[in-house]
């Protein structure tokens, strides 16, 4: 059963001269209990994609120009703002990259977690705060009853992230959008947060879209993966298949850049160049200026996703050679 079906999503931002697409043609499906990874360099469109799903982008600068986001037989792109406010938090929740900037400093963590319960379900403040204590316990915060009167600034980075996860899970959503949930955390805390998300998935059947630039995190946690570059999908499929048999030069470049793949004492491989500005995208495949496999066709025309194996697609005309040789 498909829980979320995203098809042809295109999100544009206004510039002084024209509109540019930060997400261009994103499509994927998400099933109950599945963890899907959105992977790519900074600026590839991962965060914009997640915010687009919940329509959390500034309306004066951004708009959903095309595509559908089907959730429980409803296209979220066609709902009124009042209807979307019901979906946000209750059915689909999001945890943000920097919890310090998204936890209101003038409210206690107890009130922050209780608020969605009061707003969505009309629970009394007393019942909602009791539930907040239980949620803090579930996300591994010690002495939760003694913590609900504290303010966000009194918590460490890892604890703030746990508070944000608790608030996101308050209404028991079906889908969690997790935007770089382990960024800026030390390795030990990163592992704890990832274990927490996996445990929540196993216990509740929660489906998760995990935004990350860390291929190692994807390998450990995700069932499927979508690789984004300059707003376009370069490759997608089952995590094991994509990471062990990549069919796109960009995916291979990301994998070869991992420290574990470099010989001791050798220079760490990297992908040459930088992603192009969205208002100056190259003609043809957006990755071709950085690609050693590029041919004339890549420079002339966009390369569409092609199914290369069961459930595995690549936007590369030379995917067979990429799989065999690598960059």
pLDDT given for residue 263 in this prediction: 57
pLDDT given for residue 261 in this prediction: 53
Dihedral sign (CA 100, 103, 107, 109) = negative
> What band does 327 get if pLDDT is binned at 50, 70 and 90?
very low
Q: How far is CA 252 from the centre of its chain?
A: 20
Predicted confidence (pLDDT) per residue in 43-67, tens digit: 999 999 999 999 999 888 999 999 9
pLDDT given for residue 251 in this prediction: 95
| Residue in 302, 208, 224, 230 with CA at minimum distance from that of residue 23 | 230
Across the range 270-281, mean pLDDT stands at 90
pLDDT given for residue 266 in this prediction: 67
Across the range 294-298, mean pLDDT stands at 96
Across the range 287-310, mean pLDDT stands at 94
| pLDDT greater than 80 at residue 181 | yes
Q: What's the chain's average pLDDT?
A: 91
d(C-alpha 192, C-alpha 153), whole Å: 21
Predicted confidence (pLDDT) per residue in 240-261, tens digit: 999 999 999 999 999 988 776 5
| pLDDT greater than 80 at residue 79 | yes
Phi/psi of residue 205, each to 5°? 75, 15
By the 8 A CB rule, do 216 and 209 touch?
no
d(C-alpha 2, C-alpha 70), whole Å: 9
* R_g of the chain, CA atoms, integer Å: 21
User: Sheet holding 224-229: strands in order across?
Assistant: 92-95, 175-179, 207-212, 35-39, 224-229, 232-238, 312-314, 306-309
pTM of the model: 0.92
Ranking 176-190, 262-276, 290-304 by mean pLDDT, the lowest is 262-276
How far separated are the first and last CA of the chain, in Å rounded?
37
pLDDT given for residue 262 in this prediction: 53
């Amino acid at each position: 059963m498909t829980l979320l079906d995203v098809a042809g999503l295109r999100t544009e931002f206004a510039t002084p001269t024209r509109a540019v697409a930060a997400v261009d043609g994103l499509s994927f499906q998400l099933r109950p209990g599945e963890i899907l990874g959105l992977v790519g360099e900074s600026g590839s469109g991962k965060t914009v994609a997640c915010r687009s799903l919940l329509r959390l982008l500034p309306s004066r600068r951004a708009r959903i120009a095309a595509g559908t986001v089907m959730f429980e037989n409803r296209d979220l792109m066609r709902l009124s703002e009042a209807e979307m406010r019901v979906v946000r938090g209750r059915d689909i929740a999001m945890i943000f990259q920097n919890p310090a900037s998204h936890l209101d400093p003038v409210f206690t963590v107890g009130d922050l977690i209780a608020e969605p319960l009061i707003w969505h379900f009309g629970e009394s403040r007393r019942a909602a705060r009791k539930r907040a204590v239980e949620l803090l316990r579930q996300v591994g915060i010690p002495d939760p009853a003694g913590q609900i009167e504290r303010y966000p600034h009194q918590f460490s980075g890892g604890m703030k992230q746990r508070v944000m996860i608790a608030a996101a899970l308050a209404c028991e959503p079906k889908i969690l959008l997790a935007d770089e949930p382990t960024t800026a955390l030390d390795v030990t805390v990163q592992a704890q947060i990832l274990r927490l998300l996996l445990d929540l998935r196993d216990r509740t059947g929660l489906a998760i879209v995990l935004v990350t630039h860390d291929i190692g995190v994807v390998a450990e946690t995700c069932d499927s993966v979508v690789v984004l570059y300059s707003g376009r999908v370069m490759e997608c499929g089952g995590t094991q298949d994509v990471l062990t048999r990549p069919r796109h030069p960009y995916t291979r470049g990301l994998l070869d850049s991992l420290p574990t793949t470099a010989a001791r004492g050798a220079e760490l491989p990297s992908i040459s160049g930088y992603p192009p500005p969205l208002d100056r995208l190259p003609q043809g495949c957006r990755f071709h200026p950085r690609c050693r496999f590029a041919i004339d066709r890549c420079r002339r025309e966009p390369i569409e996703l092609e199914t290369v194996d069961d459930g595995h697609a690549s936007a590369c005309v030379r995917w067979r050679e990429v799989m065999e040789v690598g960059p």
